Amino acid sequence: MKRLIVVLIVLVLFSLSLPVSNLIAGLPAGTLRTVTSDDPLYRNAMAVLGAKCVNCHTPEYKLPFYAAFPIAKGIIEHDIRTGLKFINYLETLIPEEGEPVSEVVLAKTEQVIADGSMPPMRYLALHWNGGLTKAERETVLKWIQDVRAQHYATEGVAPKFRHEMVQPLPPVESLNLDARKVALGDKLFHDPRLSTDNTISCASCHDLQKGGTDQARFSTGVGGAVGDINAPTVFNAGFQFMQFWDGRAADLQEQADGPVNNPIEMASNWPEVIGKLEQDEALTREFLAVYPGGYSKDTITEAIAVFEESLLTPSRFDRYLQGEENALTDNEKRGYALFKQYGCATCHAGKILGGQSFEKMGLYQDYFADRGNVHTPDYGRFNFTQREEDRFKLKVPTLRNIAITFPYFHDGTTSDLKEAVNTMVKYQTRHARISDREADLIVAFLKSLTGELAGQPLQ
């Protein structure tokens, strides 16, 4: 009996020294390893990630034979469950036909490969060849930079920032928006007739003088009805991959249908709105000149969406990324370096520093348990998909104009930017805390993101 136990232990120890990935055969990781593409860079990068990373970041894993031993099984399953909570590579590395891999997946992958934090140390200790070789690291990093330069670098970015995860805003002219639709949308956005009692316009809750928000914890709609989730800014919102905290609208046009019908916002409906607008001869004439078919849910929401797309707010930070070295102070530059170093830019990525993914609020510690009083709005993406893995995932907000879009978070729990930064460090990064000085520097950087709208500085 004793002998048998010794043999078993030796067997377990030996098997743990083999790379998991080599022992798991015919798995989704294999799908990535043999991905077919005309692009050798993509093919090679997928082969590396498929062999070394995907097994812990996919829901469709099969355990290796030694997982039959209870302790090994526990460790492996824990790693896979945890890894999956952070990123699902099977879902994200093979995008739909013609779509590039998302900026957030590129950013996260780049970060952990560049700083050597993946695969986890405790795993490498047991799997001597589970890590990436220098050549493999270079292959993946090169692929990431290549996708970025091809798909995400914005017009006017300085060559040295072309490959970075954060990009400047493109010039608004490059969007080629129809100026007549912008003008109409502007009027409709500010028109209280979109609400049932003619008291509330879109601008009531998205005031262009208040950072595109109402600077309130929760918004007040018709008849004093108060909502239960913080109103995000409409500035630069056209660059988000979906709209609303839970992504229930695909784009700005679809989004604009929501508030009109929402009983605690505008409490109206399209026939009622159109009936009122038809009484307005001047507006109707202007509208017909652009939309000969006249008022409808589709035409009204389109005009509003085009107006919102025009609300770009370039800042000093953009001039810095465009190569104007002195556009930021030394402290702001230090803050930006820390922002990247602590991994903030992996979620707050791209040209609006956010808006490209849903992320669990409370990845490293339980935010909701600490806050208490958990209720439906906190469930985020889950409310739309009903998928358990989406519970507590919220669309990452943009950080542009963050100094003036307080209070912060979907629950509006603080208006203090430094506190918001410290909350992020604690719950969303593997660094439990940072020094006071570092938090100040990050705040200084974030303040440089306050931009201007049509040439007027925002404040």
As measured in angstroms, the least distance from the Cβ of 212 to ligand HEC is 9
433 with 426: CB under 8 angstroms?
Answer: yes
Indicate the residue among 153 and 222 with the shorter CB distance to ligand HEC: 222
CA distance linking residue 165 with residue 116, whole number of Å:
18
Smallest gap, in angstroms, from Cβ of residue 323 to ligand HEC?
25
- Interatomic CA distance for residues 1 and 97, integer angstroms: 58
Q: Which is nearer to ligand HEC, 299 or 428 (CB)?
A: 428
**Residues 376-435, interacting with ligand HEC (CB under 6 A):** 394-397, 399, 402, 405, 408-410, 420-421, 424-425, 428-430
Interface map 39-78 toward ligand HEC (x if CB under 6 A): -------------xx-xxx---------------------
Closest contact distance (angstroms) between CB of 131 and ligand HEC is 8
Give the number of other CB atoms < 10 A from CB of residue 431. 13
Residues 247-276 that bind ligand HEC (CB under 6 A): 252, 255-256, 259-260, 265-266
Q: Which amino acid is at 21?
A: S
Q: How near is the Cβ of 104 to ligand HEC at its closest, in Å?
A: 8
Q: Tokens 């490293």 identify what position?
A: 364
Our CB check for ligand HEC shows the closer of 155 and 387 to be 387
Chain residues 281-320 in contact with ligand HEC, contact rule CB under 6 A? 304, 308
Q: Which of 314, 343, 350, 451 binds ligand HEC (CB under 6 A)?
A: 343
Residues in CB range of 68: below 8 A, 6 or more apart: none
Question: Does residue 108 interact with ligand HEC by CB under 6 A?
Answer: yes
Angle CA 410–415–416, to nearest 5: 125
Q: How far is the CB of 62 from ligand HEC (least distance, A)?
A: 14
Do you know the residue count of the chain?
459
Residue (189 or 320) nearer to ligand HEC, CB: 189
Which whole-number Å values give the CA distances from 459 to 232, 239, 412, 449, 456, in the listed order?
Answer: 16, 22, 20, 11, 9
Residues 163-192 that bind ligand HEC (CB under 6 A): 189
- At position 415, the amino acid (one-letter code) is S
Amino acid at 326: N
What minimum distance in Å lies between the beta carbon of 82 and ligand HEC?
4
The closest of 88, 92, 69 to 80, measured between CA atoms, is 88
Confirm or reject binding of residue 144 to ligand HEC (CB under 6 A).
Answer: no
Q: What type of residue sits at position 421?
A: V
Distance of closest approach, residue 1 Cβ to ligand HEC, in angstroms: 33
* Nearest C-alpha neighbor of 356 from the set 152, 118, 53, 154: 152
Pair 210, 404: CB distance under 8 Å? yes
Give yes or no for a contact between 448 and 328, defined as CB atoms under 8 angstroms apart.
yes
Report the nearest approach of ligand HEC to the CB of residue 378 (Å).
Answer: 8
Residues 367 and 223: their CA atoms lie apart, in Å, by: 33
Q: Looking at beta carbons only, is 6 or 125 nearer to ligand HEC?
A: 125
Q: Which is nearer to ligand HEC, 137 or 323 (CB)?
A: 137
Q: Determine, following the binding rule CB under 6 A, whether residue 349 of this chain makes contact with ligand HEC.
A: no
Q: How far is the CB of 363 from ligand HEC (least distance, A)?
A: 5
* Residues between 113 and 132 with contacts to ligand HEC, criterion CB under 6 A: 113, 118-120, 123, 132
**Nearest residue (CB) to ligand HEC, 27 versus 402:** 402
The identity of residue 451, as a single letter, is G
Which of residues 27, 144, 169, 200 is near ligand HEC by CB under 6 A? Answer: 200
CA–CA separation, 224 vs 406, rounded Å? 21
- Chain centre to alpha carbon of residue 17: 37
The least distance separating ligand HEC from the CB of residue 91, rounded to whole angstroms, comes to: 13
Residue 231 sits in the site that holds ligand HEC (CB under 6 A) = yes
Instruction: Find all residues with CB under 8 Å of 161, minimum gap 6, and list them.
Output: 167, 168, 321, 323
